[in-house]
Chains A and B, each alone.
Chain A
Amino acid sequence: MAEETHARAARAPSRPRGPPLLAGVLLGVGAVAFVDEAVFHQILHWHHFYDRASTAAGLVSDGLFHAFSWFATVAGLYLMARTWRERAFDARRFWAGLLVGVGGFQLYDGIVNHKILRLHQIRYGVDILPYDLVWNIVAVLVLAAGIALWAVGRRRPRRSGAG
């Protein structure tokens, strides 16, 4: 009993570094996939279930992306719940992670899936260039904001969690 208490106390200070950031990244990835499915597939019908132009590699990439995004959403929620439970929640690190996850995955989708693997395009029957530019510039801005938010706090001494 005494040993366990001691072990918990010794472990506690090092724990807050990982989970809030990782929880944010995972939930960011999940959020992008959710917006992709809900808004672009189901509401706008810009994206299609299957695109004849898509390559085998594109299908595999898309399958992996969706499978991982479901896992990321669930694991991200569990990690966030854990950081709350252990009072290690750090809002800045969480939001930094979320923005990195959203921006990073949107950029991946916009460059690798849409352009390199030609999985599908953002929209059909229109001049695609403005859509691609908006999509990827937004992605880069969100990603940069996430990295900036993460870097700013690293220079300042961290406030410890809500303890």
Chain B
Amino acid sequence: MHHPPTGPGWADVVITLLLAVALAGYTVGLLRLWRRGVPWPVGRFLSWVMGVAAVGAALVGPAADAAHHDFAAHMAAHVLLGMLGPLLLVLAAPATLALRALPTRAARPLGRLLGSTPMGVLAHPVTAAVLNVGGLWLLYRSDLYALTLVHPGAHLLVHFHVLAAGYLFSYAIVGPDPAPHRPGPPTRAVVLVLAVAAHNVLAKTVYAFPPTGVPVDQAREGGLVMYYAGAPVEIALIVVLCHRWLGPAARSRAAGRVMARG
């Protein structure tokens, strides 16, 4: 073992600190822009705050504690940590904020990273969907979930993966943050529909065939939570994608400029 097992107390402190840093970092960036007179939508700031809150609720506090004992609560936390939280964080466009707020010396490597080929492969919708939904299939359809119940390190790693893969997926599908290699909306729509389908099917198999170590009634409840609580977030992803693709702004972007009409 490379590192000693982490007690829940320790992990909670570290996670809370990281969330505080995320909140503070975004706020500092925002204040820098505003001091320079560069506008930044308040909605994005609110989205970041709510995203951090959703992730926090899933990881620390009473809901997170309940998730350790009850599989349905675990699923609710999964929706917050892997779906709702990441979508809200992505919509806050943190990379764009960093590119504008950081000094050029620091912003340039970040821009290069976002435009690099490895990043293009990692953040391709197909890669992101496989990491995201594929990771969940691995978690619930192998003995991995049972392992996370007894091994705190595995538990933390799975949490990190669910959050990171959820973020990567939202960013690949709708992200306002720049992604030079991102394919066009039709490809993203197909990947999104397939990923939602895979999520739906997984929810039904969780309902019908409980993961190792989960009682039957809890698995049923958990499957329903996964399906019905996940749906609003999936529909939100579809709305954001369609809005950018088919909405009024898309038309004017294509035309090159907004035409004022009487």
Q: How far is it, in angstroms, between the C-alpha of A71 and the C-alpha of B238 when the chains are bound?
A: 6
Contact mask for chain B residues 61-79; partner A; CB cutoff 8 A; 1 contact, 0 none: 0000000000000000000
Known A-B contacts A78-B246, A82-B246; the reply to A63 vs B234 at CB < 8 A is no
* Residue positions of A touching B, CB distance < 8 A: 4, 8, 49-50, 52, 59-60, 62-64, 66-68, 70-71, 74-75, 78-79, 81-82, 85
**B224 interfacial by beta-carbon distance below 8 Å:** yes
Task: List chain A residues, Cβ under 8 A from B243.
Answer: 78
Q: State whether A66 touches B200 (Cβ < 8 A).
A: yes
Q: How far is it, in angstroms, between the C-alpha of A79 and the C-alpha of B193 when the chains are bound?
A: 18
The 8 Å CB contact of B204, one of A59, A68, A85, is: A59
| Closest chain A CB from B237 CB (angstroms) | 10
- Interchain Cβ contacts under 8 Å between A and B, 30 examples: A8-B255, A49-B204, A49-B207, A50-B207, A50-B208, A59-B201, A59-B204, A59-B205, A60-B201, A63-B197, A63-B201, A64-B194, A66-B197, A67-B194, A67-B196, A67-B197, A67-B200, A70-B231, A70-B238, A71-B192, A71-B193, A71-B242, A74-B235, A75-B238, A78-B242, A79-B246, A81-B247, A82-B251, A85-B248, A85-B251
Number of residues in B with C-beta < 8 Å to the partner? 32
Closest partner residue, chain A, to B234 (CB atom): A70
Q: How far is it, in angstroms, between the C-alpha of A82 and the C-alpha of B242 when the chains are bound?
A: 12
**B114 interfacial by beta-carbon distance below 8 Å:** no
Task: List chain A residues, Cβ under 8 A from B245.
Answer: 78
* Residue positions of B touching A, CB distance < 8 A: 189, 192-194, 196-201, 204-205, 207-208, 223-224, 227, 231, 234-235, 238-239, 242-243, 245-248, 251, 255-257
Task: List chain B residues, Cβ under 8 A from A66.
Answer: 196-197, 200
Task: List chain A residues, Cβ under 8 A from B197.
Answer: 60, 63-64, 66-68
Closest partner residue, chain B, to A60 (CB atom): B201
Chain B, interface SS category = helix
The 8 Å CB contact of A70, one of B201, B207, B235, B255, is: B235
Q: How far is it, in angstroms, between the C-alpha of A98 and the C-alpha of B227 when the chains are bound?
A: 27
Known A-B contacts A4-B256, A70-B234; the reply to A63 vs B246 at CB < 8 A is no
Q: How far is it, in angstroms, between the C-alpha of A64 and the C-alpha of B137 when the chains are bound?
A: 16
Q: State whether B204 touches A50 (Cβ < 8 A).
A: yes
Q: How far is it, in angstroms, between the C-alpha of A81 and the C-alpha of B245 when the chains are bound?
A: 13
Task: List chain A residues, Cβ under 8 A from B208.
Answer: 50, 52
Q: How far is it, in angstroms, between the C-alpha of A48 and the C-alpha of B245 when the chains are bound?
A: 35
Task: List chain A residues, Cβ under 8 A from B194.
Answer: 64, 67
Known A-B contacts A49-B224, A50-B208, A71-B192; the reply to A63 vs B198 at CB < 8 A is yes
Q: How far is it, in angstroms, between the C-alpha of A82 and the C-alpha of B235 when the chains are bound?
A: 20
Task: List chain A residues, Cβ under 8 A from B198.
Answer: 63
| Closest chain A CB from B27 CB (angstroms) | 33
Q: How far is it, in angstroms, between the C-alpha of A50 and the C-alpha of B203 when the chains are bound?
A: 10
Q: State whether B204 touches A64 (Cβ < 8 A).
A: no
Task: List chain A residues, Cβ under 8 A from B257.
Answer: 4
Closest partner residue, chain B, to A65 (CB atom): B197
Q: State whether B193 touches A64 (Cβ < 8 A).
A: yes
Task: List chain B residues, Cβ under 8 A from A79.
Answer: 246
| Closest chain B CB from A63 CB (angstroms) | 4
Task: List chain B residues, Cβ under 8 A from A68.
Answer: 193, 197
The 8 Å CB contact of A75, one of B200, B242, B255, B256, is: B242
